[in-house]
Structure 1
C-alpha cells in the first residue's frame, strides 16, 4: 500500500511539472502568435530563460524567433519580445493572449476529456493542466509593480502591470508611446529623440520628465540634464530622489564641488545609501582623488555585498594609483557579476594602455563601445588607443 501511495505521489508530481512546462510554452506562444498578427518586425519567444539567447537553441519560422532552453519545469519562466505597434488595442491583445491561450487550451482539453469519457489518469492530467493554467492566469494578470530585469539588462513587467501601463498610456502621444517602448528595449538614442520631440511639442507628463532625466544619465549628457532639471525644477525639487541625478549631472559637467555638495547632503541623511557612495566615488575618480574614491567603493561593497559598478570603479582607481594587480582582480569580480558592464572594458583598456599595449587597449575600448556607446569618457580613450600613429 505504501509503495502504491509513493508511486501515486511521484506520478502526481510528474504531472504537475509537465503541466507547468506546457503552460509556460503555450503562454509564450499565445503572446507570440498574437504579436505576429498586430505588430511589425520580428517577434522573439524565450522558453526557459528570461531573454538569454546564449544558453538557448534557436529556431526561426518567418518573423518568429524561438529560443528554447531545456528546463523540465521551465523554472526560469519565459518571455515574449514583440514587434512594435502604436495601437493600444493591439498591445492589449498580445499581452492578454498569453495567459488566455493556456487557459483556453486547458478548458478545451478538460471539456473533451469529460465529454468523451477519458481514462481516470487522463482526467487527472486534464484537471492538473486546467489548475496550472488558472494559476498562471492569476499570477500573470495580478499587477506586479516592480520591474523584471532581463538577461540583456533591459526591463519588463508582468502581464497585469503591462496592461495597466497600456491603459495609462492613452494620455500620451503616439511618438511618446513609441519612445517608452524603445527605452525599455535599451534603444536610448532613438527613445531620447522621440521624447525630446514630445517635450518640445509641449508634453509635460511626469512620466516623460522622469524618463528624460534617466535618458540623460544613460547617455551621459550632463549639460542637457542640468538644463532640463532647471527648466522643470518645480517638479524635480519636489521629488527628493531626483537630487541624486542632479549630483550626477554636476559631475559629468565638471562642476565637481557642486556634485560633492549634492552627494554629501544626501549622505548626511542616508549614510548607508550605496548608490550615492558609488557615484560620489565616481566623481572623486574624475577629480583624481582616488584613495578617497576607494573608501567610498569599499563602503558601498560592504553595504551591498556585491556591485559590479563599485568593483569596476574601484578597479579604475587602483589602476590610476598604479596598483594594476588590484585593478585586474576587481575587474574579474565585476565581470562575473555583470559581463555587460562597459566600464569594466573601459578600465581594462586603461590598464592595457598603462602596460603599453595599445592594440589590446583598443580592443577593450571597442568592446565597451559595443556594449554602451555612451560610456563616459570612452571616446577620449579610444582616440588615444585606436588612432593610427
Structure 2
C-alpha cells in the first residue's frame, strides 16, 4: 500500500510541476504577444538553455522544452519586442503568477465539487497546493537573484514588478536614453544618463545603465567614478564585479581584475563574461593553457560566444597549435564578423606563419575598427620593422 502511495505521489509530482511551469510561462507569453504583436520565446525546464531541448513553434510563440524532467530548473519567458511600455511589462509580468492562481482556483473547484476517484482527487489537491505555492513564490519579492543561462541576473516576478512600478516614476529622459542605448548610440545615451544622475535620480538601475554606456565608449575613468559611488550605495552583483574587473584590466592592474572576476564567479559560476575576461587576462599574462580552461567553460555555457572562440584561438596560436587556433578564429568570425580582435588575432596567425604583409593588412584592419585594440600599435610597429629590414 505504501509503495503504491509513493508511486502515485511521484507520478503526480512529475505531472504537476512541469504543467504548472507551462501554465505560468504561457501566462507571461500570451499577453506579451497579444499586446506587442511580436514574438515571444519560453523556456520550460531551464533559464534560457536550448541544449538537450526540443523546439516547438505556434505562430509567434516559440517553446524550448528540456527532455529530462528530472533536470528541470523552472522556466523563462523572453518577449522579442523592443521598447515595450512599462504598463505592458507590468501586465505580462503579473499574468504569470495570476495564471498559477487561476490553476489553483480551478483545481480547488474540481477537487471539491466532483466525486472523483482517489488518484484524481489527490492529483487536483496537489495541483491546488503547488499552484498556491507557485503563486506566492513568484508574487512575493525576493532578494535572491536567478542565474540565467547566458550568465545574466534575473529576478522573480514580485521583484520585477517592484522595479517596474519604480520605473513608472522615472522621467521621460530615462527611457529616451535606453532607446538610444538599444540603437547603439552609446555616446548620446551616456550623456543623458549623466544628466539624470546629476539631477539627483541616483538609483542602482540608472547607475548601471550609465556604467554600461561609458564602458562601451571606453570612458573607463567615468565608469570607475560611477562604480565608486555605486559601491557606497548599493550591493554589487556578479555582473557589477565583472564590469569593474574589466576597468582594472584596461588599467593593466591584472591582479585586481582577476580578484574581481573571481568574486563575480563566486556569485554566479555561470557568468560567461567573467569566465571569458578571466581567460583574456591570463592570455595577457601569457598563461595560455590556463586561459583555455576558462574559454572552454564559457563556451559550455554559451556556444555562440564569439569572443571566447576568438580568445581561445589566440591562446592556441601562441601555444603553437596554430591550425586549431585558426579554426576557433573562423568560428568567431561566423558569429561576429566585425570584431577587431578577430582581425588582430588572425594577423598574429599569419605572423606566426611568416606571412608578414598579410599580417600587417589584418592589423591595420583591426585598428580601423577599434583604435584601442589591445597591443595593436605594437604589433603594427613590429611587422613594419620586419618588412622594412627585409626590403634592405
Q: If the length of structure 2 is used for normalisation, what is the TM-score?
A: 0.68
The DSSP-based 3-state class of the residue aligned with 1:346 is helix
Q: How far does the alpha carbon of each residue in 1:143-193 deviate from its partner, in whole angstroms, 9 at most, with x for none?
A: 12343222223332111111111111113345744866998xxx7x73846
Q: What are the equivalent positions in structure 2 for 1:1-40 lying under 5 Å apart?
A: 4-40=1-37
Q: What are the equivalent positions in structure 2 for 1:288-367 lying under 5 Å apart?
A: 308-309=275-276, 312-313=279-280, 315-316=282-283, 320=286, 327-328=288-289, 330-332=291-293, 334-336=295-297, 338-339=299-300, 340=302, 344-354=308-318, 361-367=325-331
Check conservation: 1:31, 1:98, Cα contact below 8 A: yes
Aligned residues: 336
Change in 2 beyond 3 A, CA 1:181/1:153: farther
| Aligned equivalent of 1:70 | 67
Change in 2 beyond 3 A, CA 1:237/1:108: closer
Cα distance in 2 for residues equivalent to 1:277 and 1:49 = 25
Cα distance in 1 for residues equivalent to 2:126 and 2:35 = 32
Cα distance in 2 for residues equivalent to 1:47 and 1:78 = 5
How far did 1:41 drift? 2.6
The DSSP-based 3-state class of the residue aligned with 1:134 is helix
| Aligned equivalent of 2:92 | 94
The DSSP-based 3-state class of the residue aligned with 1:49 is coil
Residue range with higher mean Cα deviation, 345-354 or 149-158: 345-354
Q: How far does the alpha carbon of each residue in 1:86-142 deviate from its partner, in whole angstroms, 9 at most, with x for none?
A: 322211111111121132133224314433433333222111101110000011112
Residues 1:59 and 2:44 aligned together: no
Q: How far does the alpha carbon of each residue in 1:205-249 deviate from its partner, in whole angstroms, 9 at most, with x for none?
A: 3332332214444x3x43x2324556x699468569799977854
Cα distance in 2 for residues equivalent to 1:40 and 1:120 = 44
Check conservation: 2:28, 2:92, Cα contact below 8 A: yes
Check conservation: 2:177, 2:192, Cα contact below 8 A: no
| Aligned equivalent of 2:390 | none
Q: What are the equivalent positions in structure 2 for 1:110-129 lying under 5 Å apart?
A: 110-129=108-127
Cα distance in 1 for residues equivalent to 2:261 and 2:46 = 32
Check conservation: 1:169, 1:177, Cα contact below 8 A: no
Residues 1:380 and 2:344 aligned together: yes
The DSSP-based 3-state class of the residue aligned with 1:53 is coil
Check conservation: 1:44, 1:80, Cα contact below 8 A: yes
Cα distance in 1 for residues equivalent to 2:291 and 2:127 = 48
Residues 1:45 and 2:30 aligned together: no
Check conservation: 1:28, 1:45, Cα contact below 8 A: yes
Gaps of at least 5 residues in structure 2 are 351-357, 362-392
The DSSP-based 3-state class of the residue aligned with 1:81 is strand
How far did 1:43 drift? 0.2
The DSSP-based 3-state class of the residue aligned with 2:143 is coil
Change in 2 beyond 3 A, CA 1:161/1:179: farther
How far did 1:370 drift? 6.5
Check conservation: 1:308, 1:333, Cα contact below 8 A: yes
Cα distance in 1 for residues equivalent to 2:278 and 2:227 = 33
Q: What is the root-mean-square deviation in Å for CA atoms of aligned residues?
A: 4.3
Cα distance in 2 for residues equivalent to 1:101 and 1:182 = 34
Check conservation: 1:142, 1:160, Cα contact below 8 A: yes
Change in 2 beyond 3 A, CA 1:228/1:57: closer
The DSSP-based 3-state class of the residue aligned with 1:32 is helix
Cα distance in 1 for residues equivalent to 2:148 and 2:35 = 24
Cα distance in 2 for residues equivalent to 1:228 and 1:101 = 41
Q: If the length of structure 1 is used for normalisation, what is the TM-score?
A: 0.69
Cα distance in 2 for residues equivalent to 1:210 and 1:347 = 26
Cα distance in 1 for residues equivalent to 2:323 and 2:296 = 21
